[in-house]
Structure 1
Amino acid sequence: MVLTPSAHVHARKLVELLGSWNGAARPSSRSLSAAVRQLVLDGRLPPGTRLPAERELADALGVSRTLVARMLEGLRAEGFVASRRGAGSWVKLPDGERGNDAHGGWFPTEDTEMLNLAHATPNGPPELCAATDRARLRFPEQLSGHGYQPHGLRVLRERIAERYTKRGLPTGPEQILVTNGAQHGFALVLRMLVSPGERVLVEHPTYPNAIEAIRGLNTTPVAVPMVDGGWDLELLTANLRQTSPRLAYLIPDFHNPTGVRLDADGRARLGRALARTCTTAVIDETLVDIDLTDDEPPPPMAVFTDRAILVGSASKSFWGGLRLGWIRASEEFVQRAVVGRAALDLGSPILDQLVLAELLCVADQVLARRRAETIERRACLVAALREHLPHWSFRVPDGGLSLWCDIGAPVSSRLAVAAEQHGVRVAPGARFSVHGSLERWVRLPYTLPGDQLVEAIRRLAAAAAAVHEAPGPSLLTAPIA
């Protein structure tokens, strides 16, 4: 389906988004097409966005109208632009199978030659098949009922609650709502607590799909910058006071994408700040199990404040294909969420819930293997970067699934375009930005097998060399938007 035009991007803004697209000596329709395509793939030109007229864009870019016309013609052929006489041109995503790649590699690709470093999702554990076999034995007993479980199966809620209790947060099954992933849980909380026009405080950078969920409700994300060591709690507290957000979305456990973790003292300070400003926080615990240290982990945020709603997921701990997550909150909030959920869906798949319940019985075994594998892959990625891209800087995180790399110049979107041409996909820093900035940064997951990680970095180094061979006058001096 072709979307009709909705929002309009002015030529001046599009030029700003494109940045140093013409680093080569002579601008070409091909390089301009690649840059616009990357903006679409990054989500910074959403489908339905009306593009400037050819002459207007040509004047703003300082190129010929013929070059712009050829660019649009190429993007129409690839399925990224649609045009209609009298209505102009607007952004769309490719139809059919190419639509699978329309997220810039955010999801896996069927192209076996392409190495995908744009998503940070591990493979399923070997215990998954045995857990599925055990779940099948329990499945027939569910068939006598209607199959709708808006709270989630009790056996699964009990096992999730037990894990919170073991982490130092006493929890009963009545405080758990099973959802279709953490993103679904966050979207449900947003719908319940935030109205259009209100503000939601987020870290900067942050998880891109959270930004999309916030904007999808016509609410405004308020970005609080992260600092080298993690969170500037004074700045965060000041923003809570000054902007009066209706909700905050925070990732204190191996923050995505930076990988840092907020310690217990920091959680206590954050809890006091939330209480003083009467701000409810959604705490994303998607990566809490990917702890690659032997240290005692800090307690969940809900230990420090009753204004924390915890959202968890099976995707990073076990497997993304299960598509299950959960909300941990007060019993009263869970009951309200069950009622509000009916507007979105009527429950999560029963068989998947039975499988996850079985996996939780062997969670320690599964997670021990996951952590050992992740430590090995992290070391492999670090070694490859230090060999092939030694000028890049990064902090080796204590957990999570990716490195947040400073590439030394504001060219990550250009690098992503070049990397695609070298057979590797990466997510540029702008993907994690509220305002499309962070062009000095790129996120690199260590979820692929070691040999694939080494080859991916070798290809990425070749792409980086291609970007820097023809830097143009503004490559190293262009400001970060």
Structure 2
Amino acid sequence: MPMAPTALADRLGRWSSGRGPLYLLLAARLRRLVDQGELAPGTALPPDRSLAAALAVGRGTVVAAYEQLRTEGRIVRRQGSGTRVAGPVRDRPRETTGAPVFLHLLERQDADVILLACAAPAAPPPVLLSAYERAVAQLALLTGDIGYHPSGHPRLRRAVADHYTRRGVPTAPEQILVTNGGQQALSLLARAFVEPGGEVLVEAPTYPGALEAFRERSALLRTLPVGLDGFETAVRSPARRPDLAYVVSTHHNPTGAVLPPLARRRLAVAAGAAGVPLIDDEVLAQLAFPGDDTPPPLAAYGATVITVGSLSKSVWGGLRVGWIRATEAIVDRLARLRAVHDLGGNLPAQLAAAELLPGLERWCRDTAADRRARHDHLLAELARRLPQWQVRPVGGGQTLWVRLPHGDGDTFAQTALRHGVAVLPGSGLDASGASKDHVRLHFLASPDDLTEAVRRLAVAWCAYGGGQGGGAPAGAGVTARSYERSADRRNPVRRTG
């Protein structure tokens, strides 16, 4: 059975973001997957037409790429038996992730590509540099500290605990585990609570990194609407008790929704009564727009709620500091699990984070007006150039959830990338498969970049055939940017990276 075209498209990632003929770009990415063992010897590759449809290119592009690899000896093509990676079939395939699209979000891109896929601040802010200056001064005074703190440095644990206490959730330092970002927090929780084959309740759609963490544990993902609507019914039967539930209650990723207080209380009470560990991902909770107040944390409504936080979205992704707030017993258990792979986080970063946290709310308020302005600017540009796209304003966070009137997000994302914009297709955020007609855009870029990004998206939408599924896919001899260059000649606009 050949590999599914969509599965190979996910592994290919942003293969078309470079320069040169599309077939050479496709061949280069396939070559890399073969050489690195991601496509094992004997793997059956998708037929030409089905892969071309998944990548939104002409069949000739795939045929030429396959032919290039055939002449190099990397694949074998036989009439009637299809296309396979050269070499004998392995008894055990090399272990790899089933959703490498998450990794491709973080790959370096051609300078011409405007990134609207991975939402995070583009540079460390001045407050972080100042915090590091103070942290380095403290580091010089340390004595009697070998630097290993599996649960986190005591100063940071205290700062995080105080952060929650100020927000109406009294917390002791012993209830805090410091992690290397929110993603490690989710991975630790998945390892602690999810048995292989166990069920995890997730929203549809939701944060793709959480889905990756649960899938890595071979979890069965059971989806509910945003806000885990229907949670009480889902956990009522002891025979189907899930191992874990995961929700983004504030400035939901990707929709921006905020769970109301009454719904928070019902969710927390139901989880506690059913004995189901409930994770509330609060990474985006501090990013409200001016005048948009948010309810207290979900943990304020139930003592058993497990909270994940991070400074990656509110400050900078390169500051790999996150945390878990839970009961002392859970924190102790997670610290033992963490120590098997990681004896502790970066100490200077933790000291800098401890300097930042007392002023985090003020920093987020000071930057809220700018985030709101960029959100409004992106909405206005979409309404002007792509009025047929369906998108709702949000009250905070970093992303817009866009529904395409026709077609699907996966193939349109491929087309958009060839026009110099990286967007995130909705299929990777929805375990139910119901968001294939969506894409996620972030609004953190500068207004000029957002204007240019939407202009390129409008050109890409036209090339896509207005979403009718046909479009004008480039053939084997067409370069990845030729269509865009012709559009630039018709409508010259400053190009930004």
Q: State the TM-score, normalized to the length of structure 1.
A: 0.81
Q: Are the equivalent residues in 2 in contact too, given 1:202–1:223 (CA < 8 A)?
A: yes
1:168-191 Cα shifts (integer Å, max 9, x gaps)? 100111111110011101111111
Aligned to 2:464, the other structure's residue is in SS state helix
Compute the RMSD of aligned alpha carbons.
3.7
Q: CA deviation at 1:269?
A: 1.1
Q: Are the equivalent residues in 1 in contact too, given 2:407–2:469 (CA < 8 A)?
A: no
In 2: Cα distance, 1:268 partner to 1:426 partner: 35
Q: Are the equivalent residues in 2 in contact too, given 1:426–1:443 (CA < 8 A)?
A: yes
In 1: Cα distance, 2:286 partner to 2:311 partner: 10
State which of 271, 275, 278 in structure 2 corresponds to 1:278: 275
Identity of aligned residues (%): 36
In 2: Cα distance, 1:91 partner to 1:467 partner: 36
In 2: Cα distance, 1:413 partner to 1:35 partner: 20
Paired position in structure 2 for 1:95: none
Residue 448 and residue 216 in structure 1: after superposition, are their counterparts in 2 closer, same or farther (change >3 A)? Answer: same
Q: Are the equivalent residues in 1 in contact too, given 2:131–2:356 (CA < 8 A)?
A: yes
In 2: Cα distance, 1:214 partner to 1:76 partner: 37
Q: State the TM-score, normalized to the length of structure 2.
A: 0.78
Paired position in structure 1 for 2:372: 375
Q: Are the equivalent residues in 1 in contact too, given 2:309–2:324 (CA < 8 A)?
A: yes
Q: Are the equivalent residues in 1 in contact too, given 2:195–2:217 (CA < 8 A)?
A: yes
Paired position in structure 1 for 2:351: 354
Q: List alignment gaps of at least 5 residues for structure 1.
A: 1-9, 20-28, 93-100, 476-481
In 2: Cα distance, 1:253 partner to 1:178 partner: 21
Residue identity matched to 1:85: G
Q: CA deviation at 1:370?
A: 2.3
In 2: Cα distance, 1:344 partner to 1:128 partner: 28
Paired position in structure 2 for 1:215: 215
Residue 411 and residue 130 in structure 1: after superposition, are their counterparts in 2 closer, same or farther (change >3 A)? Answer: same
Q: Work out whether 1:111 is the aligned partner of 2:110.
A: yes
In 1: Cα distance, 2:68 partner to 2:270 partner: 52
Aligned to 1:326, the other structure's residue is in SS state strand
Matched length: 436
Residue 361 and residue 167 in structure 1: after superposition, are their counterparts in 2 closer, same or farther (change >3 A)? Answer: closer
In 2: Cα distance, 1:213 partner to 1:156 partner: 25
State which of 74, 78, 89 in structure 2 corresponds to 1:87: 89
Residue identity matched to 2:329: E
1:447-469 Cα shifts (integer Å, max 9, x gaps)? 11111111011101110110015
Residue 15 and residue 379 in structure 1: after superposition, are their counterparts in 2 closer, same or farther (change >3 A)? Answer: closer
Paired position in structure 1 for 2:241: 244
State which of 59, 72, 91 in structure 1 corresponds to 2:66: 72
Paired position in structure 2 for 1:267: 264
Residue 75 and residue 439 in structure 1: after superposition, are their counterparts in 2 closer, same or farther (change >3 A)? Answer: farther
Residue identity matched to 1:225: P
In 1: Cα distance, 2:115 partner to 2:468 partner: 26
Q: Are the equivalent residues in 1 in contact too, given 2:186–2:308 (CA < 8 A)?
A: yes
Q: List alignment gaps of at least 5 residues for structure 2.
A: 11-20, 76-83, 95-99, 473-497
Paired position in structure 2 for 1:479: none
Q: Are the equivalent residues in 1 in contact too, given 2:228–2:247 (CA < 8 A)?
A: no
Paired position in structure 1 for 2:189: 189
Q: Are the equivalent residues in 1 in contact too, given 2:386–2:458 (CA < 8 A)?
A: yes
In 2: Cα distance, 1:200 partner to 1:31 partner: 40
Paired position in structure 2 for 1:132: 132
Q: CA deviation at 1:193?
A: 1.5
Residue identity matched to 1:456: A
1:279-309 Cα shifts (integer Å, max 9, x gaps)? 1111110000001142442111112122211
Aligned to 1:321, the other structure's residue is in SS state coil
In 1: Cα distance, 2:415 partner to 2:470 partner: 19
In 2: Cα distance, 1:330 partner to 1:52 partner: 47
Paired position in structure 2 for 1:471: 468
Residue 472 and residue 391 in structure 1: after superposition, are their counterparts in 2 closer, same or farther (change >3 A)? Answer: closer
Q: Work out whether 1:411 is the aligned partner of 2:413.
A: no
Paired position in structure 2 for 1:4: none
Structural mapping, 1:8-19, within 5 Å = 10-11=1-2, 13-14=4-5
In 2: Cα distance, 1:35 partner to 1:263 partner: 49
Q: CA deviation at 1:270?
A: 0.7
Residue 104 and residue 468 in structure 1: after superposition, are their counterparts in 2 closer, same or farther (change >3 A)? Answer: farther
Paired position in structure 2 for 1:389: 386
Q: CA deviation at 1:76?
A: 8.4
